[in-house]
Amino acid sequence: MEEQLVKEHKVEMVSRKLLTISGVQEVISSQDNLVSIKTVCSAMQISGNSLRIAKLDLDKGLLEIEGNLSGIKYLGSSTKKSFFARIFK
């Protein structure tokens, strides 16, 4: 039986030291202070200090980042905005 592709995206942070992300499709770049990834929702940037990829399983769409986390930023969206979201900016 074929494994289904992950279409769900979750982000879980523990004490600003460990970040677990599901729905990861690709790691674009990884540096000490910035990790850029592509998820099923959109591209993301994770910022901080002493960041390192602790676990990566692209088959399951899972990523764990350890370090001193300071920010998460989504870069655009792959889904269209709802009618109300476009009206109430």
Per-residue pLDDT of 24-56, as tens digits, reads 999 999 999 999 999 998 999 999 999 999 999
How far is it, in rounded angstroms, from Cα 48 to Cα 69?
4
Phi/psi at 74 (nearest 5 deg)? -90, 140
pLDDT at residue 44, rounded to an integer: 95
Which percentage of the chain shows pLDDT scores above 90?
71
- Amino acid symbol at 28: I
**10-77: CATH topology:** Immunoglobulin-like (2.60.40)
Judged against a pLDDT cut of 50, whether residue 65 lies above it is answered with: yes
Q: Is the pLDDT confidence value at 77 over 80? A: no
Cβ atoms 72, 45 nearer than 8 A? yes
Q: What is the mean pLDDT of residues 62-74?
A: 96
Task: Report the DSSP pairing between strands 43-57 and 24-30.
Answer: unpaired
Q: C-alpha distances in angstroms, 38 versus 44, 68, 83?
A: 6, 21, 26
Question: What's the pTM?
Answer: 0.78
